[in-house]
Amino acid sequence: MDRMAEQNSATHGRLHPAGEPFDRRMLDVGDGHRLYVEQCGNPDGRPVLVLHGGPGGGCSPFMRRFFDPEHYRVVLFDQRGCGRSRPSASVEANTTAHLIADIERIRADLGIAAWLLFGGSWGATLALAYAQAHPGHVTGLVLRGVFLGRQRELDWFYGGGAARFFPDLWAQFQDPIPEAERDDMIGAYRRRLFSDDAGRQGRYALPWLMWENALAGLQSAPSSHAPAEYARAFARLENHYFSHRCFLDEGQLLRDRHRIEHLPAVIVQGRYDMVCPPGSAHELAEGWPRCELRIVPASGHALSEPRISAELLRVMDAIRDTDRQGTGAGA
């Protein structure tokens, strides 16, 4: 889950300059997939991996702006099938296990021993899954808008829960689907997004994306338009993952939390997040001694919500300051 970061707010407050990457590369990870990878900031700085949302959202220059470029070595990549990675919109050999393996391949390719994980929404899901698989290669986690990939979370968003707050938008999302199929909106859209007709795929991609996008920003109404290929990749990949329950066992990320409880973590969560409600963030943080949950008032889901952006910036600047003091505390 997560739409284009910049679109949901006109005000980003004081962030660091985006800068230009000092390294860009296309990494062949096998299975016919080539990943776009970039590095920004200080080549000798503290490594941090940015995990974008979706699945299918891709990374953007805005995501670089939460990190002091003098202190952090920031790694961003477009996950399989989206952004500048190729082939676009492909779901072949595209599962959570593949993405975890890709992250390990990137880490080894860049010669990084361990890194801080920064991810929101689906990016938080992937950060948790990777950290639990490879805790020795993680120094901490900074998460936003927690999504744990459980059926109850999918039911909230695609089974009528959020519709109680947005009945007009839910009606627009349901409108392209015959009434007889509306008891399973993920399945109904899947049949259309994966039809053999590319034009038909495109017609159903935009309403899929717009339902999520419309609920992401509390502060402002998002645009009802998106580039056609972006919408197609986003909708197909997200639907693919949600049709398979994110390729996770039910409750897996809570079940296996013990593997990462020694790591520091900060969760930044919008109080009125309608895409990923705060209950999941609270469940994840409860009983994790080194995890700090920060509920942000008057805020929704999007990375670019003003208070969300400001809080994430405070977190990353505080970690920088702790590093400089040499105390070793913090994420």
- By annotation, the residues acting in catalysis are 121, 273, 301
CA atoms within 13 Å, Cβ hemisphere of 13: 13
Closest CA to 315 of 297, 299, 291, 298: 291
Q: How many residues appear in the chain? A: 331
CA atoms within 13 Å, Cβ hemisphere of 306: 8
Sheet holding 23-30, edge to edge: 23-30, 33-41, 72-77, 46-51, 115-120, 138-144, 265-270, 291-296
Each residue of 170-198: b (16+ CB within 10 Å) or e? Answer: beebbeebeeeeeeebbebbbebbeeeee
Closest CA to 116 of 63, 75, 171, 174: 75
Residue in the structure block whose two tokens are 């994790």: 288
Local structure of 50: helix, strand or coil = strand
Question: Is the CB of residue 121 less than 8 Å from the CB of residue 301?
Answer: yes
Closest CA to 233 of 50, 57, 29: 57
Strand-pair partners of 195? none
Cα 28 from Cα 88, distance rounded (Å): 14
